[in-house]
Amino acid sequence: MKEPNDIILHAVIKVAVVIILTFSINLFFSGHHNPGGGFIGGLGFSAALTLLFLAFDIETVRQNIPVDFKVLTAIGVLIAVFTGVGGIVFGAPFLTQTFDYFDIPVFGKTELATAVLFDVGVALAVIGTSMSIILSIGDDH
Amino acid sequence: MSWLHIMVLIPFLFAIIVPLIYRVFTPRIHTGWFVLCVPSVIFLYLLRYIPVISNGETIFISVPWIPSYGINYTTYIDGLSLVFGLVITGIGALVVLYSIYYMSKLKESLHNFYVYLLLFMGAMLGLVFSDNILVLYVFWELTSISSFLLIAYWYQREKSRYGAQKSMNITIFGGLAMLAGFIMLSMMTETYSIREIIHQTDSIYDHSLFLPAMILLLLGAFTKSAQFPFSIWLPDAMEAPTPISAYLHSATMVKAGIYLVARMTPIFGGSAEWFWLVTSAGLVTLLYGSLNAVKQTDLKALLAYSTISQLGLIMSLLGMGSASLYYGTGDEASMYAVAVLAAIFHLINHSTFKGSLFMVVGIIDHETGTRDIRRLGGLMHLMPISFTLAIIGGFSMAGLPPFNGFLSKEMFFTAVLNASDMSIFSMESLGVIFPVIAWAASVFTFIYCMILIFKTFTGKYKPKKLEKAAHEAPVGMLVPPVILSSLVIIIFFFPNVLSQYILKPAMGAVLPAYSQPGEIEIKISAWHGWNTELFMTMGVVAAGALLYLYLKKWIGIYSIYPYSMTFNNFYNQGLGKMEDMSFSLTKSYMTGFIRDYFVYIFTFLIIIVGGSILFLDGAAFDVSNNGPVSIYEGVLIISMLTAALTVLFSKSRLTAIVAVGALGYLVSLFFVIFRAPDLALTQLVVETVTTALFLLCFYHLPEIRREAVRVKFKMTNLVISLGVGAIVAILALSANGTRLFEPIAYYYENSYELAGARNIVNAILVDFRGIDTMLEIFVLGIASLGVYTLVKLRISGRDRSERTK
């Protein structure tokens, strides 16, 4: 890959990535009630990372984000499966999700749903998959 | 979820932490000591159930797993599964103890070994305690896979890989046949529960699928239990480390087939086909195994053939016992029912004496470096304890008193004599063959037991032919076979304790008529008078001793039979031919051009989808419910068409990429118009990411070249693309006009109450149809691994070719 050395691009992307990451995390958590969720949240996250990889060279980003995305995929899939197994432990069928309302300081009455945990797995799997595909193709000289 | 379910899962959970233990404690502590806890604890836990089960009770606990498919994780304990559970964990504990001394903690990769072993143990426990046939099938195949891993444990050796592949090919073929049989069974009875199937036995008796299901199930059982002619995998499986041979290939896995036959006896038993198939397969295997064992020169191969023959014996006993179901109850029924008791009795006895014999052979191998009978001899004085153990195990296998093998062999003789008097299943003319085969096989059994004991331990000590100077094994290695050998003797003197508490409930599980205690009086006695059985045994000893002494004179007849006629040869030839064929077939269509692959894929799409639309009357346009087409939609469609045509006719790659991206964004505009913000967002991001991906590889792609292509090729492409376009359009229109299944749209009515989610799409994805999403991310993960390996392996391949230059 050619080495990009564009100051404007760097400056813009540093800000943009933070905004996109925040937005995708917001997307992820609002998923249960508003548009969003694990899939789209994860995709947004990996879009931000892709931007980073586009603007800076792969080695620099790798040093700052030392994550093996293949492992991340596996962790995501495992989380999704284990939240499903959680149902079995409590005597319900595999992949049963539940929810309840709790009073939490600062947030007030909040709904906590196990579906969000499952969604974490989905999001991690999506991030891991898209990033490891992009990196293995982009890394290929 | 009960302790019983957790018990089955414990080995799997432990398998996950074994590598950690290995990493932390090696080389200070042998990993086996930790693993030893698992089977011991489960064994002690299962002992609790003996009094309950012997009272005629059964335990049945069900946890829904995938209730919408009727698949439940059901644990069922009755006499039969308890016997197997005790054997699996009891022998398992001894084998692990033995392996601690057999497997060096410095040289071997113990974490792999014990992970496979625990996987296998869990799979076996799951298999015998499962009531759901599909769950049983999953565990059944898991035993095949874990045994494959165990046989190939020393994967550097070619023979290990060959043996592992052979066992997997044969047992998985059988397992698939069994799955088909299970599906037929569930089609006949509309349930997956074995207990419920047994309740419906009368109604399936005349069903047209009855016989096919029976044959397919027996294929599974026979391949697993190494019945003739599927037995060819078992001798090759002896490439595994000896503890594994002792565990899988004598005590547990090979008996899964026996378990299946016993479990299915209440369903199929009482029919002539079942009786003949099971009994004759068992008797043929018995004779074949014992004949072949005599000519072996490798001690483990000898034991492998003896296992085949003993499994045949147990199988034939189950077959003969199934005749009892024909009569229901009464004197004649109980006469044949004893055969089932004998089968389970011999199964336990076989586990004890064969387990200890395998361990003794392992000791010989470990301490002398060879298992070849021709190089061994005179070890009696050097290894007195092993010699004693070999005598106990060997004489028990030969059916001599005072060892437990004598008791079950006498019962076997009783059973064949009873069967020869049988007046059903057209036994009148053929009945006399049964005692003859049984007697002949017993003579050869006697001979190979004598070979095993005396050729190894007596005669002249030949230190020059051995790799190490022979000496007695360390104490820890001797403890497990000593325990098993003492069981061999204890069972001989107190057989009725065993029969009262363990054998009778197990028989009750196979023959439901005897499921309550006190229905039948069983007394196993060592002395049963001067009857035919005893005379048969005396004949076996006399003829066997005579033939053993003159072994050299007649052993030559084995070499007359040509190798090319054996099933082993058929297997090897067949496998080779199949590999050649698939190689040439693959080579002919894998051209390396992606456009060829697209031609295949789309041609099949046109033929299959188009054909089924045509012949099944699938095209159904129902436009009456459609809304009007707005001006925005019209504009969008025209823009999309333009974008698509741009892709088609663009001369530069960059234009094409941009046009594809535009197409994607336009689709997401459709989602916006139809008020699906979730989909629109996802589509937008996907489109962005894929376009970025395209741009990443853009640097590496060459410019599009104008290719001089033939008109014929262009015409083929045109026909195929028009066909695909037409079919997709028809499919989309018909799908909209047809309702085959209940729409999942009704979820929106109660998504908030049931899932607490105001976002219906999300509720459907994670709450209502979670399994779809889960499998979807599986696919994603596998796809990413695929891309990774393809890209990375290609690089390393190129590097290698550069290096060789």
Distance in Å, alpha carbon of A37 to nearest chain B alpha carbon: 6
Task: Give chain A positions within 8 Å (CB) of B73.
Answer: 88
Q: Are residues B692 and A134, on separate chains, in Cβ contact within 8 Å?
A: yes
8 A C-beta contact, residue B14 and residue B41? no
Buried/exposed B216-245: b ≥16 CB within 10 Å, e otherwise? bbbbbbbbbbbbbbbbbbbbbbbbbbbbbb
The Cα B295–Cα B301 span in angstroms is 10
Q: Which residues contact B502 (CB under 8 A, 6 or more apart)?
A: B50, B54, B79, B82, B83, B86, B348
Question: What average pLDDT score do residues A54-82 get?
Answer: 84
Report the candidate in B114, B166, B175, B112 with the shortest Cα–Cα distance to residue B143: B175
Interchain contact A81–B (C-beta under 8 A): yes
Interchain contact A133–B (C-beta under 8 A): yes
β-pair partners for B92: none
Least confident of A105-114, B309-318, B522-531, B622-631: A105-114
Q: Are residues A84 and B681, on separate chains, in Cβ contact within 8 Å?
A: no
8 A C-beta contact, residue B770 and residue A118? yes
* pLDDT (0 to 100) of residue A106: 66
Least confident of B80-84, B318-322, B525-529, B745-749: B745-749
Q: Is the peptide bond before B402 cis (omega within 30 degrees of 0)?
A: yes
Question: What average pLDDT score do residues B558-566 get?
Answer: 74
Q: Mind giving me the DSSP string for B251-299?
A: ISGGGHHHHHHHHHHHHHTTSHHHHHHHHHHHHHHHHHHHHHHHT--BH
Amino acid at B435: P
Q: Are residues B788 and A111, on separate chains, in Cβ contact within 8 Å?
A: no
Q: Which residues contact B500 (CB under 8 A, 6 or more apart)?
A: B54, B522
Interchain contact B522–A (C-beta under 8 A): no
Report the candidate in A74, A70, A79 with the shortest Cα–Cα distance to residue A118: A79
Q: What percent of chain B has pLDDT over 90?
A: 10
The Cα B69–Cα B74 span in angstroms is 14
Say which residue the tokens 């836990």 belong to.
B45
Q: Which residues contact B56 (CB under 8 A, 6 or more apart)?
A: B505, B508, B515, B516, B517
Task: Give chain B positions within 8 Å (CB) of A39.
Answer: 682, 765
* pLDDT (0 to 100) of residue B642: 93
Say which residue the tokens 């009783």 belong to.
B414
* pLDDT (0 to 100) of residue A13: 86
The H or E element spanning position A89 is helix A69-89
Task: Give chain B positions within 8 Å (CB) of A35.
Answer: 677-678, 681, 759, 761
Please write the tens of the pLDDT for every residue from B617-657. Answer: 777 777 776 778 888 888 999 999 999 999 888 878 788 88
Interchain contact A62–B (C-beta under 8 A): no
The Cα B74–Cα B130 span in angstroms is 6
Residue A1 has pLDDT above 50, yes or no: no
Question: What average pLDDT score do residues B120-146 get?
Answer: 90
8 A C-beta contact, residue B437 and residue B287? yes
Q: Which residues contact B343 (CB under 8 A, 6 or more apart)?
A: B258, B262, B314, B317, B318, B321
Distance in Å, alpha carbon of B782 to nearest chain A alpha carbon: 9
Dihedral angle sign, alpha carbons of residues B168, B173, B178, B179: positive
Q: Are residues A37 and B759, on separate chains, in Cβ contact within 8 Å?
A: yes
What confidence category does residue B604 fall into, taking pLDDT thresholds of 50, 70 and 90?
A: very high
Crossing angle for the helix pair B384-398 and B475-493, nearest 10 degrees? 30
Q: Is B254 exposed, middle or buried (0-12, 13-18, 19+ CB in 10 A)?
A: buried
CA B308 vs CA B285, B314, B415, B528: distances in Å: 7, 10, 20, 29
Find residues 19-78 of chain B whose CB sits inside 8 Å of chain A.
63-67, 73
The Cα B28–Cα B589 span in angstroms is 56
Q: What is the separation of C-alpha A68 from the centre of its chain, rounded to a whole number of angstroms?
A: 14
**Which SS3 state, helix, strand or coil, does residue B762 take?**
helix
Residue B704 has pLDDT above 70, yes or no: no
Least confident of A122-131, B28-37, B56-65: B56-65
Interchain contact B532–A (C-beta under 8 A): no
The Cα B527–Cα B121 span in angstroms is 38
The Cα B481–Cα B389 span in angstroms is 7
Mind spelling out the 3-state secondary structure of B109-158?
Answer: CHHHHHHHHHHHHHHHHHHHHECEHHHHHHHHHHHHHHHHHHHHHHCCCH
Q: Quick one: tokens of B654?
A: 């960059």
The Cα B720–Cα B564 span in angstroms is 50
Residue B314 has pLDDT above 60, yes or no: yes
Closest partner CB to B689 (pick from A36, A47, A99) = A47
Task: Give chain A positions within 8 Å (CB) of B758.
Answer: 32-34
Residue B89 has pLDDT above 80, yes or no: yes
Question: What average pLDDT score do residues B773-797 get?
Answer: 82
Q: Are residues A84 and B780, on separate chains, in Cβ contact within 8 Å?
A: no
Q: Are residues B693 and A76, on separate chains, in Cβ contact within 8 Å?
A: no
Say which residue the tokens 């693993």 belong to.
B35
Distance in Å, alpha carbon of B67 to nearest chain A alpha carbon: 7
Q: Quick one: tokens of B253?
A: 């896995």
Closest partner CB to A43 (pick from B65, B689, B783) = B689
* pLDDT (0 to 100) of residue A3: 54
Please write the tens of the pLDDT for every residue from B503-536. Answer: 888 888 888 877 777 767 777 777 777 788 888 8
Distance in Å, alpha carbon of A107 to nearest chain B alpha carbon: 17
Distance in Å, alpha carbon of B699 to nearest chain A alpha carbon: 7
Question: What average pLDDT score do residues B238-252 get?
Answer: 81
Mutate to test the interface with B, among A83, A89, A112, A133 (most CBs of B within 10 A): A133
β-pair partners for B132: B193
Residue B691 has pLDDT above 70, yes or no: yes
Report the candidate in B412, B395, B440, B402 with the shortest Cα–Cα distance to residue B315: B412
Other residues' Cβ atoms within 10 Å of the Cβ of residue B316: 30
DSSP secondary-structure letter at B764?
A: I
8 A C-beta contact, residue B74 and residue B114? no
Q: Are residues A80 and B755, on separate chains, in Cβ contact within 8 Å?
A: no
ipTM, interface predicted TM-score of the complex? 0.85
8 A C-beta contact, residue B126 and residue B142? yes
* pLDDT (0 to 100) of residue B706: 62
What Rg, from alpha-carbon coordinates, does chain B have?
A: 32
Find residues 672-731 of chain B whose CB sits inside 8 Å of chain A.
677-678, 681-682, 685-686, 688-689, 692-693, 696-697, 699-700
pLDDT averaged over every residue in chain A: 80
- Nearest residue in A to B696, CA atom: A138
Q: Are residues A95 and B781, on separate chains, in Cβ contact within 8 Å?
A: no
Residue A110 has pLDDT above 70, yes or no: no
Q: Are residues A47 and B757, on separate chains, in Cβ contact within 8 Å?
A: no
The H or E element spanning position B445 is helix B433-450
What Rg, from alpha-carbon coordinates, does chain A have?
A: 18
* pLDDT (0 to 100) of residue B804: 46
Interchain contact A79–B (C-beta under 8 A): no
Please write the tens of the pLDDT for every residue from B215-235. Answer: 999 999 999 888 888 888 888
pLDDT averaged over every residue in chain B: 84
Distance in Å, alpha carbon of A102 to nearest chain B alpha carbon: 13
- B290-297 long-range Cβ contacts below 8 angstroms, 24+ apart: B290/B441, B290/B442, B290/B444, B290/B445, B290/B448, B291/B441, B291/B444, B293/B444, B293/B445, B293/B448, B294/B444, B294/B447, B294/B448, B294/B451, B294/B555, B294/B558, B295/B555, B295/B558, B296/B373, B296/B448, B297/B372, B297/B373, B297/B374
Please write the tens of the pLDDT for every residue from B326-369. Answer: 877 777 778 888 888 889 999 999 999 988 998 888 888 888 88
Mutate to test the interface with B, among A50, A82, A122 (most CBs of B within 10 A): A122
Crossing angle for the helix pair B404-420 and B384-398, nearest 10 degrees? 10
Task: Give chain B positions within 8 Å (CB) of A27.
Answer: 681
Question: What average pLDDT score do residues A113-128 get?
Answer: 86
* pLDDT (0 to 100) of residue B635: 92
Q: Are residues B682 and A74, on separate chains, in Cβ contact within 8 Å?
A: no
Amino acid at B492: F
Amino acid at B114: Y
Least confident of B50-64, B436-450, B554-568, B674-688: B554-568
Distance in Å, alpha carbon of B12 to nearest chain A alpha carbon: 14
Task: Give chain B positions within 8 Å (CB) of A89.
Answer: 1
C-alpha count within 13 angstroms, C-beta hemisphere, residue A35: 12
DSSP secondary-structure letter at B629?
A: P
What confidence category does residue B745 fall into, taking pLDDT thresholds of 50, 70 and 90?
A: low
* pLDDT (0 to 100) of residue B244: 86
Q: Are residues A77 and B689, on separate chains, in Cβ contact within 8 Å?
A: no
Task: Give chain B positions within 8 Å (CB) of A121.
Answer: 777
Task: Give chain A positions within 8 Å (CB) of B693.
Answer: 50, 133-134, 137-138
Q: Are residues A33 and B778, on separate chains, in Cβ contact within 8 Å?
A: no
Distance in Å, alpha carbon of B666 to nearest chain A alpha carbon: 18
β-pair partners for B71: B66
Interchain contact B582–A (C-beta under 8 A): no
Q: Are residues B755 and A47, on separate chains, in Cβ contact within 8 Å?
A: no
The Cα B354–Cα B362 span in angstroms is 12
Mind spelling out the 3-state secondary structure of B466-525?
Answer: CCCCCCCCCHHHHHHHHHHHHHHHHHHHCHHHHHHHHHHHHHHHHCHHHCCCCCCCCCCC
The Cα A41–Cα A27 span in angstroms is 5
Find residues 1-40 of chain A whose CB sits inside 8 Å of chain B.
1-2, 27, 31-40
Count of A–B CB contacts within 8 Å?
A: 166
* pLDDT (0 to 100) of residue B113: 87
- Nearest residue in A to B759, CA atom: A33
Amino acid at B355: G
Closest partner CB to A125 (pick from B696, B763, B780) = B780
Residue B805 has pLDDT above 60, yes or no: no
The Cα A53–Cα A138 span in angstroms is 9
CA B249 vs CA B130, B181, B256, B362, B485: distances in Å: 22, 25, 11, 14, 18
Least confident of B308-317, B633-642, B736-745: B736-745
Task: Give chain A positions within 8 Å (CB) of B770.
Answer: 84, 95, 97, 118
Q: What is the separation of C-alpha B554 from the centre of its chain, rounded to a whole number of angstroms?
A: 40
Q: Are residues B781 and A134, on separate chains, in Cβ contact within 8 Å?
A: no
Find residues 746-765 of chain B whose CB sits inside 8 Å of chain A.
755-759, 761-763, 765
Mutate to test the interface with A, among B4, B753, B774 (most CBs of A within 10 A): B774
Q: What is the separation of C-alpha B220 from the centre of its chain, rounded to a whole number of angstroms?
A: 9
8 A C-beta contact, residue B462 and residue B370? no
8 A C-beta contact, residue B78 and residue B21? no
Question: What average pLDDT score do residues B111-127 get?
Answer: 89
Question: What average pLDDT score do residues B445-466 get?
Answer: 83
Other residues' Cβ atoms within 10 Å of the Cβ of residue B540: 25
The Cα B455–Cα B364 span in angstroms is 13
8 A C-beta contact, residue B154 and residue B32? no
